[in-house]
């Protein structure tokens, strides 16, 4: 991880699934780079549930006191559920120093203006939408900040690029909700498709274990084909679909059940849900 002068310590408010994924990602990057103690990024997390704090990596400091996290961190990442964000901001606001702190939020649907209203004037704010695959350094992340600050972009890249091969700045905040629906929630859609393939494989006579390995590798291989060939999914799909063949039969059934429309609707509904969360 790049060591930016001001960002020596990261404090996570919340210690759930995403906070753990980010903490694991940052700390494993520290370890992989074999950074000396003074160069590595310190990570601390807080939440009211001690059992979640105990599940964090050993080199992540933890506390049940959010203010302690703020006092010990340069970069504060708000990783609580959207409906808790406002009360957390009210709690930490007195300890936020706009000259020292950058506040980053990964909460779905909560806009930058919510943070501006709740925090001291001039606080640097970044809205980020990662996904759970950050845990295995395969995340897809987008972020938004007001203005054109390169430094905030660099800080975001420093934290997320090592755990997220895509870490893309977005210029229109409305697209943050679209990203939440597409890539933030998208891991679950792909897992749902893998689950369906596994069930279908079991129905055809495979053990669940073999069906899972086949389905998982098939999804991984398809993604790799797109990535490595630079060809579109449509091109690659047409390439593997022989006239009158088995794949064509399978695709016909997916069309008949309007699977593509269902995915459109799923992403659209997920995006609309962001409006309700704020
Ligand atoms: P989670 O339920 O696993 O974790 C929430 C954490 O917040 C828990 O540790 C909980 O104890 C803690 N918490 C609750 N009240 C608190 C308080 N007052 N102070 C400090 N901590 C408090 O949720 P998650 O899935 O990790 O989601 C966290 C955020 O990340 C959400 O806003 C969500 O929109 C966003 N997000 C989630 C995903 C995902 O795939 N789960 C992906 C992208 C973004």
CATH for 73: 3.40.50.720
3 found inside a domain: no
Residue 216 CA, ligand 1 centroid: distance in Å: 27
4 found inside a domain: no
Q: In this predicted structure, what is the pLDDT of residue 164?
A: 94
Going by pLDDT thresholds of 50, 70 and 90, the confidence category of residue 3 is very low
Instruction: Give the domain range for residue 29.
Output: 9-177
**How many structural domains comprise the chain?**
2
Q: Which of 197-201, 209-213, 271-275 bottoms out in mean pLDDT, i.e. has the lowest?
A: 271-275
Of 141, 160, 177, which closes a domain?
177
Alpha carbons 108 and 179: distance in angstroms, whole number: 10
Residue 18 CA, ligand 1 centroid: distance in Å: 6
The structure tokens 């060591």 sit at: 3
CA–chain centroid gap for 153, Å, is 16
Q: Is the pLDDT of residue 41 over 60?
A: yes
Residue nearest to atom 12 of ligand 1 (CA): 14
Token digits for 162? 């090592």
CA–chain centroid gap for 42, Å, is 20
pLDDT tens digit string along 101-114? 999 999 999 999 99
Going by pLDDT thresholds of 50, 70 and 90, the confidence category of residue 37 is low
pLDDT tens digit string along 222-254? 999 999 999 999 999 999 999 999 999 999 999
The structure tokens 């390995």 sit at: 213
Are residues 144 and 166 located together in one domain of the fold? yes
Q: In this predicted structure, what is the pLDDT of residue 38?
A: 65
Residue 83 CA, ligand 1 centroid: distance in Å: 10
Residue nearest to atom 14 of ligand 1 (CA): 80
267 found inside a domain: yes
Q: Is the pLDDT of residue 149 over 70?
A: yes
Q: In this predicted structure, what is the pLDDT of residue 4?
A: 45
Are residues 21 and 159 located together in one domain of the fold? yes
Q: In this predicted structure, what is the pLDDT of residue 6?
A: 61
253 found inside a domain: yes
Q: 129 - beta bridge partners? A: 142
Going by pLDDT thresholds of 50, 70 and 90, the confidence category of residue 29 is confident
Q: In this predicted structure, what is the pLDDT of residue 275?
A: 80
Are residues 41 and 147 located together in one domain of the fold? yes
């Amino acid at each position: 991880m790049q060591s930016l002068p001001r960002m020596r310590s990261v404090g996570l408010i919340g210690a759930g699934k995403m906070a753990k994924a980010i903490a694991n990602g940052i700390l494993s990057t520290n370890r992989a780079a074999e950074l000396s103690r003074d160069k590595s990024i310190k990570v601390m997390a807080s939440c009211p549930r001690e059992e979640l704090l105990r599940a964090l990596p050993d080199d992540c400091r933890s506390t049940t006191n959010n203010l302690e996290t703020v006092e010990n961190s340069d970069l504060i990442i708000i990783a609580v559920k959207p409906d808790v964000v406002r009360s957390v901001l009210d709690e930490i606001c007195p300890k936020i120093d706009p000259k020292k702190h950058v506040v980053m939020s990964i909460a779905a649907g909560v806009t930058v203006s919510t943070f501006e209203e709740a925090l001291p004037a001039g606080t640097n704010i970044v809205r980020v939408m990662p996904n759970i695959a950050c845990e295995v350094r395969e995340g897809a992340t987008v972020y938004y900040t007001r203005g054109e600050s390169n430094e905030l972009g660099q800080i975001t890249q420093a934290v997320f690029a090592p755990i997220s091969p895509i870490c893309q700045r977005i210029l229109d905040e409305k697209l943050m909700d679209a990203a939440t629906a597409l890539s933030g929630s998208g891991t679950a859609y792909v897992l749902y498709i893998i689950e369906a393939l596994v069930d279908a494989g079991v129905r055809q006579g495979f053990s669940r274990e073999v069906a899972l390995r086949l389905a998982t590798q098939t999804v991984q291989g398809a993604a790799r084909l797109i990535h490595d060939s630079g060809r579109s999914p449509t091109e690659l799909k047409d390439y593997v679909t022989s006239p009158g063949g088995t794949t064509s039969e399978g695709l016909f059934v997916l069309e008949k059940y309007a699977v593509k429309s269902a995915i459109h609707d799923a992403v659209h509904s997920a995006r609309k849900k962001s409006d309700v969360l704020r």
